[in-house]
Amino acid sequence: MSLFISKAHAAAGPASAGGGMEMIIMLLVFGLVFYFMIYRPQAKRVKEHKGLMSALSKGDEVLTQGGIVGKIVKVSDEKDFIVVSLAESTEVIVQKGAINAVLPKGTMKSL
């Protein structure tokens, strides 16, 4: 019977247990990758957006998340809302957090 089937041999000794040091190093590497690839860029974007929202002033031309381009008519410091003029007789109340970008002056006329 041994012609076609090879004999099974038992392992020489117990398998060595993986040291805890390798696991700790691997967890640290994963933590660093998570920090530099996910957390840090997102925190930077949030900080830039907060700076953008605090710098909004009357007369700025802005782009909202919905794609609306308009000029700021009124900014309320105690509330989180601004009034954006789309045309001479059309005004929209928008939350400050919905502003994506402040456009250069004259952008609305060139559209």
Task: Convert the pLDDT of each residue in 99-109 to its tens digit.
Answer: 999 999 988 88
Question: Where are the domains positioned within the chain?
Answer: 56-110
Give the pLDDT confidence of 14-28 residue by residue, as tens digits.
666 666 788 899 999
Give pLDDT tens digits for 25-77. Answer: 999 999 999 999 999 999 999 999 999 888 899 999 999 999 999 999 999 87
Please state which CATH class domain 56-110 belongs to: mainly beta
What's phi and psi for 54, nearest 5 deg? -75, -20
C-alpha distances in angstroms, 75 versus 11, 49, 55, 66? 76, 17, 11, 19
Could you give the strand order of the β-sheet that contains 61-64, starting from the edge strand earlier in sequence? 90-95, 81-87, 69-75, 61-64, 99-103
